[in-house]
Amino acid sequence: MDKELLAALAKIAGLEKALAEFPEDVAAAASSAGLHRGVMHAPEDPAAEPWPPMRPAAGA
C-alpha cells in the first residue's frame, strides 16, 4: 500500500502512535486486511441477509 494512503488510513483509525513506533506492523495489518477482502465472494443476491451474529445455531 502507498505510504501516504497508509498514513491517512492509520490516522483515521487513530493509530498515529502505532504508525510512528511500529510502522512495519501497521503496514502488515493493512496488507492482511486487503488480502482477506480480496478473497471473499460477496453474495450476488442483493437481498441475501447476514447471519444474526448472536443467534446461535442459525439455520439448524
Partner 1 sequence: MQDLHWISASEASRAFAAKRLSPVDLVKALLERITRLDPQYNVFIKLDAEAAVAAAAVAEAEIAAGRIRGPLHGVPVGIKDIIDVAGLKTTCHSQVLIDNLAASDAVGVAKLRQAGAVIMGKLSTHEFAIGGPSFDLPFPPARNPWNRDHHPGGSSSGSGSGLGAGFFPLALGTDTGGSIRNPASACGIVGLKPTYGLVSRRGVFPLAFTLDHLGPMTRTVADNALLLDCIAGHDPGDPGSIAAPRGHYAAQLARGVRGLRIGFVRHFHEADLVADPAVAAALEAVAKTLAAEGAEIRTVTLPTLTEFAAVNRIILNSEAWSIHAPWLRSRPGEYGKLGRQRLMAGAFLQAADYVSAQRRRAQMIAEVNAALRDVDVLMCASSMDPASRIDDAETTSRTYPRQARTPFNVTGHPAIAMMAGLSAQGLPLSVQFAGRYLDEAGVLRVARAWERAAGTDRMHPTL
Q: Which residues bind partner 1 (CB under 8 A)?
A: 9-10, 13-15, 17-18, 21-22, 25-26, 28-30, 32-37, 39-43, 48-51, 53-54, 56-60
Is residue 30 within 8 A of residue 9, CB to CB? The reply is yes
Instruction: Determine the 3-state secondary structure of 32 from DSSP.
Output: helix
Residues 47, 41: Cα–Cα separation, whole Å? 15
Residues 40, 50: Cα–Cα separation, whole Å? 14
Least distance to partner 1, CB of residue 45, Å: 9
Least distance to partner 1, CB of residue 48, Å: 5
Least distance to partner 1, CB of residue 57, Å: 4
